[in-house]
Amino acid sequence: MEKITIDIGATFLYPMPMVLVGSVIDGKANFMAVGWVSRVNFKPPLFSISLGLHHTNKGIDENKEFSINIPDVSLIEKTDYCGLVSGIKIDKSELFNVFFGELGKAPLIKECPVCISLSLFDTVKLPFNTLYIGEPKEVFTEKKYTTDNMLDIKKVNPFTLTMPDNHYWSVGENLGKAWNIGKNLKNKDF
């Protein structure tokens, strides 16, 4: 079929993982919904979150600490709510059961299957957004979310985002083993 071009500004990843980024601002925990997030370094493990002009930026800039919490589908309404209302106007500190690890300014969400506290490693200013690169200090989960001591995505039950149609999606079926199912193409002619 013929290729068509689409608006470059309306192009995203399909799909994007949804996380709740936590920070402390004026002494209170605040959370925002973020889909522009990625692991970016092997050793040390580093994660990037890309933020526009948000209340959260103030907390990260001041404290050099933040959190990444992975919500499950039962938290979808609360996650979406965090993306709808700004911490400038609405106090979101009571929305979840908050706990802290060793980083006192990286608020973690007890209800989330995976909670990562990070110290700020670097800040990259982009034309509109700021890329905050963080180094995990502690990662919390619960035994029930793991299989063979690894996080099990079907137990974690996270959800993803698509833009610009703006929908959330569950994780579907297991399609096979990575770094493995391509092996039968080795030594083939193309």
In the region spanning residues 151 to 190, those forming contacts with a copy of itself, defined by CB under 8 A, are: 151-153, 156, 158-186, 190
Tokens of 119: 């110290």
134-153 binders of a copy of itself (CB under 8 A): 136-144, 146-153
Q: Which stretch binds a copy of itself (CB under 8 A): 20-28, 55-63, 122-130?
A: 122-130
Instruction: Count Cβ atoms within 10 A of the Cβ of residue 160 and give its class: 0-12 exposed, 13-18 middle, 19 or more buried.
Output: middle
Number of residues in contact with a copy of itself under rule CB under 8 A: 109
Distance CA 162, CA 181 (A): 27
**Cα dihedral sign, 179-45-112-162:** negative
Q: Please, what is the minimum distance in Å from the beta carbon of residue 59 to a copy of itself?
A: 19
Is there binding between residue 76 and a copy of itself (CB under 8 A)? yes
Q: Looking at beta carbons only, is 63 or 123 nearer to a copy of itself?
A: 123
102-121 binders of a copy of itself (CB under 8 A): 110, 114-116
CB 68 within 8 A of CB 37: yes
11-50 binders of a copy of itself (CB under 8 A): 11-17, 19, 35-48, 50
Q: Which stretch binds a copy of itself (CB under 8 A): 20-28, 58-66, 68-76?
A: 68-76
Which value, in Å, is the radius of gyration of the alpha carbons in the chain? Answer: 18
Cis amide leading into 158 (omega within 30): no
Q: Residue 99's beta-bridge partner residues? A: 108
Q: Please, what is the minimum distance in Å from the beta carbon of residue 144 to a copy of itself?
A: 6
Is there binding between residue 89 and a copy of itself (CB under 8 A)? no
Instruction: Quickly count: other Cβ atoms within 10 Å of residue 78's Cβ.
Output: 17
- One of 61, 85, 88, 104 touching a copy of itself (CB under 8 A): 85
